Structure 1
Amino acid sequence: MSELLAGLSDARLYSACVVVILYLTTSAYFLWPRRRPALVATGADRTAAPTLIAFASQTGFAAELANRTAQSLQAAGAPVMLASLQQVDDEILRQAKQALFVVSTTGEGDAPDPAAGFVRDVLDSSVPLKSLSYGVLALGDREYDNYCAFGHRIDQWLRHQGATALFDVIEVDNGDEGALRHWQHQLSVIGNSPDLPDWEAPRYDRWRLTARHQVNPGSAGDACFHIELQPQTNASATWQAGDIAEVDPRNSTWDEKLEPLPHREYSIASLPADGAIHLLVRQMRRPDGGPGLGSGWLTAGARVGDDVAVRVRTNPNFHAPQGDAPLILIGNGTGIAGLRALLKTRIGEERHRNWLIFGERNAAHDRFYGDEIERWRNEGKLERVDLVFSRDQAERRYVQHRVLECADDLKRWIDDGAAIYVCGSLQGMAPAVDAALSEVLGAGTLEELAISSRYRRDVY
């Protein structure tokens, strides 16, 4: 054992120790089921409130993913509290400010056996949780009728207690790698650490960067670029509105001399009929002023004509709704990319009762795809457009303010069967819009919309 440890680098030794600590902690939960979870605070900021990571596992896979989740947040410097659901009671939930649930479904939509006590003592009771923000990773198998049912039950119960969802439930079908990478992406956002390493390196296809231009010259914000990528031989050129392009920064997977880099996710703004993947990428800056890893590569590092490593990940929870029901689209910033693809789908299907509520900084510089949106409105393909520019008046105005102002019209659209799709910032916009919609429609109605898939979000 000593020879093995001597051969490890400091970084690998640290990681190995974290794994051992987490494994022993998790084992203790199973061996002493009535003990409270112990704080595992190996991150840099040990004074911050810990994130509760609660898992319910039938075969051990959910426990493994919960351990990886804890390691990722700790690598970002965040303290965590790791526990089996059998250790979680209403007091722990009331004290938590942020929680992540990693849960599997067994049998015909049932909770795993170790979570039976949690179901009896907690899920069948009422616990006020208005101060809790949460996310759910639901494991399941689509061959069963009640796919990911226990994960959705937890999500619905938490919403009913007043908790705020950080993002929609992420479903994992038989260990789907794409869904797990999406979960990792959300962890990087939660931990404010975009460079967290991938758990498993994805396999990319070769696409070619064929066009790039800045869409907001003179903007008070960071530069945004419209980017087009065309598939090369053997690349999958099939996707739907709502799907995600995963990009390998600097093509590290193709160069053995480069250390593999964490992938970056971007909402696809186009359809296959456009002949290329369209992205809207904001050129992010690191704290030291340098360009972001992924955005810097796409907006400046790669040259037009270069190959780019891309993988398309399906995102069925944000695919366009079926049927002729109205659609309300709400977003900000580069979130217009995902909304644009949805509008293209709706227009192509001759479904024109669409309402766009979109926010940015200044009308003079930040009207992303503004000419296209105006043309759709003039042609009657986009029934209503409400644009909100936060810096064009003395008092800052955002999309949530417009939502509140349009309360009566929103209620009428919802009464007509409308769905609401939200795309954009996880921090700031998404929770503010959620609160505004809850005030306008009522928390119970918004919960029912979420349960019936009429309220969907793709936030980052």
Structure 2
Amino acid sequence: MSGYAAGLARSGAALAPAAAAPAAESKTGERLSIVYGSQTGNAKRLAEQLAGQAEAAGLSVRLVRADAYPTRELKTERLLYIVISTQGDGDPPDDARGLVEFIAGKRAPELKGLSFAVLGLGDSSYPQFCAIGARLDTRLAELGATRLFARGEADLDFETVSTPWLQQALGHARDALKPTTAHLATVTPLRPLQAAPAFHRDAPFAAELIANRRLIARGSSAAGAVGFDKDIRHIELSLEGSGLHYQPGDALGLWPRNPPALVQAVLDTLQLDGEADVGHNGQHLPLRQWLSEKRELTKLARPFVASHAAHARSEELNRLLAPDQNAQLAELLSRTQVIDLLQRYDGDWSAEELVAALRPLTPRLYSIASSQKAVGEEAHLTVAHLEYATQAGLRWGAASHLLAVAEEGERLPVFIEHNDRFRLPSDSTRDIVMIGPGTGVAPFRGFVQDRAADGAAGRNWLLFGNPHFRSDFLYQVEWQAALKAGQLHRLDLAFSRDQAQKIYVQHRLREHGRDLYDWLQGGAHLYVCGDATRMAKDVHAALLAVIAEHGGKSPEAAEEYLNDLQQQGRYARDVY
């Protein structure tokens, strides 16, 4: 089996993403274990890359997703690499919650025989940058394990940190483990190897836009937003000729371009020439092209705030960067774009300095709102267009604005990001409960289409919420038709501002708690999609309350019940 896995690695095939394949003849002390926790797929890709390199080097490797890792084996591990992302305000990815809690808790064993290294991935536009990687790195050392080399902390442009970290990790693994002759044997695949797709993250497909329509009435406003006319779009893209395939629950990645007006505003504010040739990391492009296609302008990150504080000689910005100002910094990062910072605090920048200081532009991921069994070579999206007014002018989200203003016939660079954690049950007789307020309803449109195409016997229950019934009921006609056709068996709605007392999906969960608990006891799978900051936490709390009340459980037992559902793959979240 080790030789077979090595052959797969040398041929370029991906290693198994879940429990992976440990070498049957290897002892724990003679192998490398690579554990990953990933929300958007980056940590998974890097872990798979490291596992493939180690296998090709003749090392015995076990690659395992965090929620499939048998924690009882931690005390016998001898060489462990952890690749893990941090979500939102210092939260672990959903597939790593159990492992993180175990290592941080009282049940974690002494690990004096373990050597380890941690690669953390994060987003420096959040104050708790790579917090989970840091927590695990510190805790493993507290438990007596030996840190092989310094923790890596990678931002959205993760390759700059991950590439040297992976090289260092492979070198240490080679020194610690002896390549086995079994890995050098000729390998005959047991089944045909799947060719790598021609189009992927680094080689996107130019998909034709075939439909772009508003889903909500004009004039609908988001609560508490000033100068923001809510605009949610249904987007349809053709994948014809791409060879790309997806399953319900997967995401479509889009490489955005910054709005031309925003690029010009940056050039005007800093009095820079957009046609000036700028070289960076061996690449020469006009400054305007750097800012349009290569650099992040709509998401502000802590490192750029620090750089601009120095250029502007701003004591106010320097104070915000102090460790005791995390809440204030979080507010700045969430509500401020690069242009706002440049206009608010005068500073002198050269074109070369600006390009070097700004983060590389990264792709945006959107839950796919369709099933290929229903739409063929198409991918549908449900996109909230971010556009709002400030005293200094309009502001936009890079990808959502690109999609909102695109016209039919335009081609957009896209790729498929698979999400193995958010899958329909393999047993089509199982019931499913889908909780998706706002644009979080997107993947569930694909779920229902897929189950209808398969003639699945399991029931489908959707809980949807938004501010107003008249203007914000996304896909209303489709859901009503699905109910009539028996493809959707239950629909509960929460329109928060159609009455004096605000009602959200979590209130509906509590209201129908008895039914929900009965569905779960009957084997139903539970899915949540949408906002991670508030909705997902409120829904999680409501689920715990329902389980405690109707299952007669203590808060601790309810938490354990929900954790068990997650371990079984019956509680899955796609939150952002």
Q: TM-score range by the shorter chain?
A: 0.5 to 0.7
Name the counterpart of 1:291: 396
Name the counterpart of 1:405: 511
- CA distance in structure 2 between the aligned counterparts of 1:285 and 1:251, rounded to whole angstroms: 13
Match of 1:315 among 419, 436, 440: 419
Name the counterpart of 1:207: 207
2:541 maps to 1:447? no
Q: CA deviation at 1:285?
A: 3.4
| 3-state SS of 2:383 partner | strand
Q: CA deviation at 1:358?
A: 0.8
* Structure 1 residues 105 and 405: alpha-carbon distance in aligned structure 2, compared to 1, 3 A threshold: closer
- CA distance in structure 1 between the aligned counterparts of 2:570 and 2:538, rounded to whole angstroms: 18
- CA distance in structure 2 between the aligned counterparts of 1:103 and 1:413, rounded to whole angstroms: 24
| 3-state SS of 2:365 partner | strand
Name the counterpart of 2:543: 437
Q: CA deviation at 1:447?
A: 1.5
| 3-state SS of 1:297 partner | helix
Name the counterpart of 2:91: 134
Work out whether residues 98 and 563 of structure 2, in 8 Å CA contact, stay in contact via their aligned partners in 1.
Answer: no
| 3-state SS of 1:238 partner | coil
How many residues are matched? Answer: 315
* Structure 1 residues 356 and 199: alpha-carbon distance in aligned structure 2, compared to 1, 3 A threshold: same
- CA distance in structure 2 between the aligned counterparts of 1:241 and 1:344, rounded to whole angstroms: 9
Per-residue CA deviation, residues 165-221 of structure 1 (Å, 9 max, x unaligned), is xxxxxxxxxxxxxxx9xx96x73785599xx75335732111111110111123223
Name the counterpart of 2:382: 280
* One-letter identity of the residue aligned with 1:311: F
Per-residue CA deviation, residues 50-105 of structure 1 (Å, 9 max, x unaligned), is xxxxxxxx69998xxxxx99xxxxxxxxxxxxxxxxxxxxxxxxxxxxxxx99997
TM-score of the two chains, using structure 1 as the length reference: 0.60
* One-letter identity of the residue aligned with 1:446: L
| 3-state SS of 2:213 partner | strand
Work out whether residues 68 and 567 of structure 2, in 8 Å CA contact, stay in contact via their aligned partners in 1.
Answer: no
Match of 1:249 among 256, 268, 274: 256
* Structure 1 residues 373 and 156: alpha-carbon distance in aligned structure 2, compared to 1, 3 A threshold: farther
TM-score of the two chains, using structure 2 as the length reference: 0.49
- CA distance in structure 2 between the aligned counterparts of 1:285 and 1:413, rounded to whole angstroms: 40
C-alpha RMSD over aligned residues: 3.9
Work out whether residues 160 and 447 of structure 1, in 8 Å CA contact, stay in contact via their aligned partners in 2.
Answer: no
Q: CA deviation at 1:330?
A: 0.4
Name the counterpart of 1:187: 123
| 3-state SS of 2:574 partner | strand
* One-letter identity of the residue aligned with 2:494: V
1:152-231 pair list within 5 angstroms: 154-155=99-100, 157=102, 187=123, 190=126, 197-200=156-159, 202-218=202-218, 219-221=220-222, 222-231=230-239
* One-letter identity of the residue aligned with 2:363: H
Per-residue CA deviation, residues 290-337 of structure 1 (Å, 9 max, x unaligned), is 11111011111x322111000101101111111111100001111111
Name the counterpart of 2:445: 340
* Structure 1 residues 202 and 106: alpha-carbon distance in aligned structure 2, compared to 1, 3 A threshold: farther
- CA distance in structure 1 between the aligned counterparts of 2:453 and 2:384, rounded to whole angstroms: 28
Q: CA deviation at 1:109?
A: 5.8
| 3-state SS of 1:249 partner | coil
Structure of larger gyration radius: 2
* One-letter identity of the residue aligned with 1:380: G
Work out whether residues 209 and 305 of structure 1, in 8 Å CA contact, stay in contact via their aligned partners in 2.
Answer: yes
Work out whether residues 136 and 155 of structure 1, in 8 Å CA contact, stay in contact via their aligned partners in 2.
Answer: no
- CA distance in structure 1 between the aligned counterparts of 2:79 and 2:446, rounded to whole angstroms: 43
* One-letter identity of the residue aligned with 2:158: W
Work out whether residues 247 and 308 of structure 1, in 8 Å CA contact, stay in contact via their aligned partners in 2.
Answer: yes
2:366 maps to 1:271? no
Structure 1 gaps of 5+ residues are: 1-57, 63-67, 70-100, 117-131, 139-150, 162-179
* Structure 1 residues 115 and 250: alpha-carbon distance in aligned structure 2, compared to 1, 3 A threshold: closer
* One-letter identity of the residue aligned with 2:559: A
- CA distance in structure 1 between the aligned counterparts of 2:34 and 2:430, rounded to whole angstroms: 42
* One-letter identity of the residue aligned with 2:372: P
Q: CA deviation at 1:446?
A: 1.0
Structure 2 gaps of 5+ residues are: 1-31, 37-41, 44-64, 82-88, 107-118, 130-154, 160-200, 223-229, 260-282, 295-360, 548-557
Work out whether residues 205 and 309 of structure 1, in 8 Å CA contact, stay in contact via their aligned partners in 2.
Answer: yes
* Structure 1 residues 107 and 455: alpha-carbon distance in aligned structure 2, compared to 1, 3 A threshold: closer
- CA distance in structure 1 between the aligned counterparts of 2:505 and 2:450, rounded to whole angstroms: 23
- CA distance in structure 2 between the aligned counterparts of 1:377 and 1:104, rounded to whole angstroms: 36
- CA distance in structure 2 between the aligned counterparts of 1:159 and 1:364, rounded to whole angstroms: 47
